[in-house]
C-alpha cells in the first residue's frame, strides 16, 4: 500500500483566516485517501507539532521568540515548507509600522498589558527559515491551495504568479480605477491571482497579495503617478507599506521619485 502524504497546518500570529479558508473547503475531504493530516489544531486539539511531515503549511507572522523556535522545529521536520497568506509571506498588516520600536507599538495596542510570551516585531516567515513555496493573499484563494497541493501530490512543483492584478483587471473589462477614477490603486505592482476582485467592485487594490517578485514591481513608476495625482511621499509610502513594509526596494524607489534623480 502506497504511503500517504503527511501534511501539517501550523499557526503563528494571525487572525486564523487562512486556516479557516482551508477548513471550509469541501475539497479537503478528497485529500484524505491520499493524505494524512498530522497537525492542524483548528480541527484537532490532539495534534502534535513535533511529528515529521512531507508538507508544512504555515500561517501567520513571526511575532514572539517562541514562534521562532516553533518555526525552526517545523523546518527540521518538513520536506516542503509553504508560507500561507499575507502574514506569513509579507509580515501582514501587523508589520506595517516596522520603523517604530516594539515598545512604542506595544504601548499603542496593549498599554501596560502583559502576555505570557516574549513579543517581537512581526516579520515574515522567510526572515527566519527557508520557505519553499508561497500562497499569497489575505486569505489565499482556494484554487491556489488546490493547485499547489495537487502538484505536490503528483510529485511536481507549482508555478509562481509573475504578472500584476492589472492584467486580470483589464481582461475583465473593468474601468481603470487608477487612471479613470484617480484613486491610488496598487494593482500595477501587486501579484495577480485574485481575479481582480476588489477593482471589479470598484475598490482600489491595497496589495494584499504582495508586490510582484522577480524585480518587476516598479514602485517608482507607480509613485510617480500617485505624485502627479497630488499624493505626498508620506501618503504614498503609507499605502504601499500596508502589505509591503518588508520589501527591500520600496522606500529606495519611492525616495528616488521625490529626489528627482535622473534615470
Angle of the 233-240 helix axis to the 219-228 helix axis, nearest 10: 130
Q: What is the pLDDT of residue 1?
A: 53
Pure H helices in 32-101: 65-77, 85-90
Q: What is the pLDDT of residue 262?
A: 53
Q: What CA–CA distance (Å, rounded) separates 50 from 98? A: 31
Q: What CA–CA distance (Å, rounded) separates 219 from 250? A: 6
**Closest among 1, 9, 6 to 145, alpha carbons compared:** 9
Q: What is the pLDDT of residue 115?
A: 84
Q: Per-residue pLDDT for the chain (263 aa), expressed as one digit of tens each? A: 578 999 999 999 999 999 999 999 998 888 888 899 999 999 999 999 999 999 999 999 999 999 999 999 999 999 999 999 999 999 999 888 878 899 999 898 889 988 888 999 999 999 999 999 999 999 999 999 999 999 998 889 999 999 999 999 999 999 999 999 999 999 999 999 999 999 999 999 999 999 999 989 999 999 999 999 999 999 999 999 999 999 999 999 999 999 965 55
Task: Evaluate the CA torsion angle 107, 111, 117, 123 in order and state its sign.
Answer: negative
Verdict on whether the full-model pTM lies above 0.85: yes
Other Cβ atoms less than 10 A from the Cβ of 110: the count is 11
**Closest among 234, 233, 152, 245 to 206, alpha carbons compared:** 245
Q: What CA–CA distance (Å, rounded) separates 114 from 116? A: 7
Cell triple for 193: 491571482
Q: What is the pLDDT of residue 14?
A: 93
**Closest among 170, 74, 174 to 125, alpha carbons compared:** 74
**Closest among 91, 60, 108 to 245, alpha carbons compared:** 91
Amino acid at each position: 500500500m502506497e504511503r500517504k502524504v503527511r501534511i501539517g497546518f501550523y499557526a503563528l500570529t494571525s487572525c486564523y483566516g487562512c486556516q479557516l479558508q482551508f477548513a471550509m473547503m469541501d475539497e479537503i475531504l478528497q485529500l484524505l485517501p491520499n493524505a494524512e493530516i498530522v497537525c492542524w489544531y483548528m480541527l484537532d486539539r490532539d495534534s502534535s507539532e513535533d511529528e515529521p511531515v512531507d508538507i508544512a503549511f504555515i500561517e501567520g507572522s513571526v511575532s514572539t521568540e517562541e514562534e521562532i523556535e516553533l518555526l525552526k522545529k517545523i523546518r527540521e521536520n518538513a520536506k516542503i515548507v509553504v508560507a500561507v497568506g499575507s502574514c506569513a509571506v509579507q509580515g501582514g498588516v501587523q508589520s506595517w509600522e516596522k520603523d517604530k520600536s516594539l515598545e512604542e507599538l506595544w504601548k499603542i495596542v496593549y498599554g501596560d498589558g502583559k502576555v505570557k510570551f516574549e513579543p517581537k516585531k512581526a516579520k515574515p516567515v522567510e526572515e527566519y527559515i527557508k520557505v519553499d513555496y508561497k500562497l499569497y493573499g489575505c486569505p489565499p484563494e482556494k484554487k491556489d491551495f488546490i493547485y499547489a497541493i495537487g502538484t505536490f501530490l503528483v510529485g511536481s512543483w507549482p508555478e509562481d504568479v509573475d504578472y500584476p492584478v492589472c492584467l486580470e483587471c483589464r481582461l475583465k473589462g473593468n474601468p481603470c480605477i487608477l487612471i479613470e477614477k484617480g484613486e491610488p490603486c496598487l494593482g500595477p505592482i501587486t501579484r495577480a491571482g485574485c481575479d481582480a476582485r476588489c477593482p471589479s467592485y470598484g475598490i482600489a487594490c491595497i496589495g494584499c497579495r504582495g508586490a510582484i517578485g522577480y524585480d518587476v514591481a516598479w514602485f517608482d513608476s507607480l509613485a510617480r503617478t500617485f505624485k502627479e495625482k497630488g499624493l505626498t511621499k508620506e501618503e504614498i509610502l503609507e499605502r504601499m507599506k500596508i502589505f509591503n513594509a518588508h520589501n527591500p526596494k520600496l522606500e529606495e524607489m519611492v525616495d528616488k521619485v521625490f529626489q528627482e534623480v535622473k534615470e
